[in-house]
Amino acid sequence: MGTATTKLHKRVDIRRNDTVKVMTGRDRGKEGRVLRVLPDEGRVLVEHVMTVKKHVRPNPQRNIKGGIAEQERAIPLSNVALVCGTCGPVRIGHEVQGERKVRVCKKCGATLDK
């Protein structure tokens, strides 16, 4: 066995279906739903954010129509902030409620988990 390097596991506080606001970059100011979180890359895929137009070839076998499709590209997690329903984009805090640990808004203290 070689020397095992402990990978610093960065905790990601953004989850799928969260609403986030883009704080920096080309699409700054846009809000969208999180489609996918890529923790290893430190990136997140947000609906309608960082879209690129892609030409799609028709493929009748797979029922794909040709044309131009929009596709999102992942953006760095540090570029987005979770949106609190009351305060807007906020920093995330943590709180233990009974058995579970939930994410809370650092401003108003509201629970951000459903």
Question: Is 82 a binder of Zn ion (CB under 5 A)?
Answer: no
Assess contact for 93 and 84: CB atoms under 8 A: no
Interaction pattern, residues 44-63, with Zn ion; x per rule: CB under 5 A: --------------------
Of all helices (H) and strands (E), which one includes residue 97?
strand 92-97
Nearest distance in Å: CB 114, Zn ion: 15
Question: Is 105 a binder of Zn ion (CB under 5 A)?
Answer: yes
Nearest distance in Å: CB 37, Zn ion: 21
Q: What is the DSSP string of 22-56?
A: E-SSTTTT-EEEEEEEETTTTEEEETTSSEEEEEE
Question: Is 107 a binder of Zn ion (CB under 5 A)?
Answer: yes
